[in-house]
């Protein structure tokens, strides 16, 4: 599947259907800032979730922090007890695995969850760490020089932005 042919709204529908079997009543959705956070905001409503959702930033635990600094003003917000929690992390694009590693470190700063799973809109391959999603709405290949990011329009509709060289 070509990156330019990806329909983010259709993939969101696939994601919603795909994560439903992963959810128990007590499962907390936690979105990785910013694309994953947008996904959680919609999923929380569309799946009629009652368990509080959260947002998590990878900024403080990134291995490239010295280069990137605080790329986002968004902070981690976990309005539930992390110790013993069942957590489903959500992100827009899974690539090297480094963001997920940083997020797991951040999560453990708040406590020790019983279980952490991962669902993503797109898995683009290229892993540098042994991290895999429990669910991916799509799996694609992109050249290393390109990046794929989720964008959200004023009305809340999702689309993808592809940047870089082929």
Q: If pLDDT is split at 50, 70 and 90, which confidence band does 2 have?
A: very low
Domain boundaries, the chain: 3-64+73-164
How many angstroms separate the Cα of 123 from the Cα of each of 96, 107, 148? Answer: 10, 22, 10
Pick the closest to residue 31 from 49, 7, 6 (CA basis). 49
Query: Pairing relation of β-strands 115-123 and 86-94?
Result: parallel
Per-residue pLDDT tens for 100-144?
Answer: 999 999 999 999 999 999 999 999 999 999 999 999 999 999 988
Per-residue pLDDT tens for 5-60?
Answer: 799 999 999 999 999 999 999 999 999 998 999 999 999 999 999 999 999 999 88
Phi/psi-derived region of residue 48, left when phi > 0, alpha when psi is between -120 and 50, beta in every other case = left
Q: What is the CATH number of domain 3-64+73-164?
A: 3.40.50.2020
């Amino acid at each position: 599947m070509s990156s330019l042919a990806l329909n983010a709204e259709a993939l969101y529908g696939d994601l919603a259907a795909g994560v439903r079997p992963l959810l128990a009543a007590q499962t907390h959705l936690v979105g990785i800032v910013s694309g994953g956070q947008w996904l959680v905001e919609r999923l929380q409503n569309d799946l009629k979730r009652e368990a509080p959702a959260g947002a998590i930033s990878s900024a403080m635990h990134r291995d490239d922090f010295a280069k990137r600094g605080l790329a986002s003003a968004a902070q981690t917000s976990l309005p539930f007890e992390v110790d013993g929690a069942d957590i489903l992390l959500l992100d827009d694009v899974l690539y090297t695995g480094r963001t997920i590693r940083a997020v797991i470190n951040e999560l453990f700063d708040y406590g020790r969850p019983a279980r952490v799973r991962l669902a993503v809109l797109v898995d683009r391959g290229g892993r540098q760490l042994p991290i895999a999603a429990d669910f991916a709405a799509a799996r694609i290949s992109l050249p290393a020089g390109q990046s794929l990011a989720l964008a959200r329009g004023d009305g809340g509709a999702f689309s993808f932005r592809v940047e870089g060289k082929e």
